[in-house]
Amino acid sequence: MKIVVLDGFTENPGDISWGPVEELGEVVVYDRTSFEETDLIAERIGGAEIAVTNKTPISAATIDRCPNLRAIAVLATGYNVVDVAHAKERGIVVQNVPVYGTDNVSQFAVGLLMEVCSHIGHHSDSVHAGDWAKNPDWCYWNYPMIEVSGKTAGIIGLGRIGYNTAKILGAMNVRVIAYDINRSDRGREVAEYVELDELFRQSDFIFLHCPLFPDVERIIRRENIEKMKDGVILVNNSRGGLVDEADLAHALMSGKVAAAALDVVSTEPIREDNPLLGAKNCIITPHISWATKEARERIMQTTAENIRSVIEGHPIHTV
């Protein structure tokens, strides 16, 4: 069984092992494969039976040039980089890793909020730059400090990650409301369901925890921002396409949105002309909510299980 990993570096920059996958066949790992070069992608897959990808796209044209391909294993939950419909037409299994980082992403989401409210990183940098040693007072702060207790957080998308985030916020004495087209008794344990406009109206903090489907694409845009409280704080470590970045940048510059903390943007890596890079009070991290060593080890193990299931003839985690 020949297995080709097209872009393995972000999953494993060297701190974990490809061992669980290598046990299953002849494995070739490429750290990176150019997204734009369809010829190179097809060439690297070649005669392999299993292609493993994280973000390298596998198009219909690529699939048609890989006659031995039996399965495409995605090193992530999202699988929009694969032409799934064409793969199915060709009888090729597409698999993902459905659950691996719920706790990490929730932890990071709340961490983003806390960075906005306390500016811990900024103040640490300030101390190391000598500002405290030179200060005439015993303490100082460069930004207003915000207490989260007693505030209202609105979560758009109350799935596994949204639910977990709601639990953390509840423990911090934050009232949690949520909008989700699929409402459940489990969700009601941690949040009060409301309509979307009501969530915009009531929330001091808004968290995005939903997949990027057409009905929620650019859900954070001018017309919805206008419905929000003045001074709202936005947290997004879900999908960049949920936000109209020009509209959010304008709202940040005007102060309508007090701050945004983002781990994702619409085009990744971020483009140098992204309007959010010039917006005030905007924290941006490079899509790392998922990337703890523990979570990446779970991805590796599940991917190995996915490949093994194809070899044994009963594929799991198919999409």
Beta-sheet strand order (sheet of 232-236): 192-193, 175-179, 152-156, 205-208, 232-236, 257-262, 282-284
Q: Which of 70, 123, 287, 296 is catalytic?
A: 287
Chain centroid to Cα 123, Å, comes to 27
Residue 239 annotated in active site: yes
CB atoms under 10 Å from CB of 139, counted, come to 7
Hey, what are 2's tokens? 């020949």
Q: Count of H helices and E strands in the chain?
A: 12, 12
Residue 317 annotated in active site: no
Closest CA to 9 of 296, 316, 247, 204: 296
Chain centroid to Cα 104, Å, comes to 10
Q: Which of 239, 245, 296, 317 is catalytic?
A: 239
In degrees, rounded to 5, the angle at the alpha carbon of residue 53 between the alpha carbons of residues 47 and 55 is 135
Q: Which of 23, 89, 189, 268 is catalytic?
A: 268
Element of type H or E holding 168 = helix 160-171
Residue 268 annotated in active site: yes
Burial class (CB in 10 A: 0-12, 13-18, 19+), 281: middle
Roughly what angle, to the nearest 10 degrees, separates helices 120-128 and 102-118?
60
Sign of CA pseudo-dihedral 126, 131, 132, 137: negative
- Report whether 249 contacts 276 (CB < 8 A): yes
Sign of CA pseudo-dihedral 229, 204, 234, 220: negative
Give the CA radius of gyration of the chain: 22
Residues designated as active site: 239, 268, 287
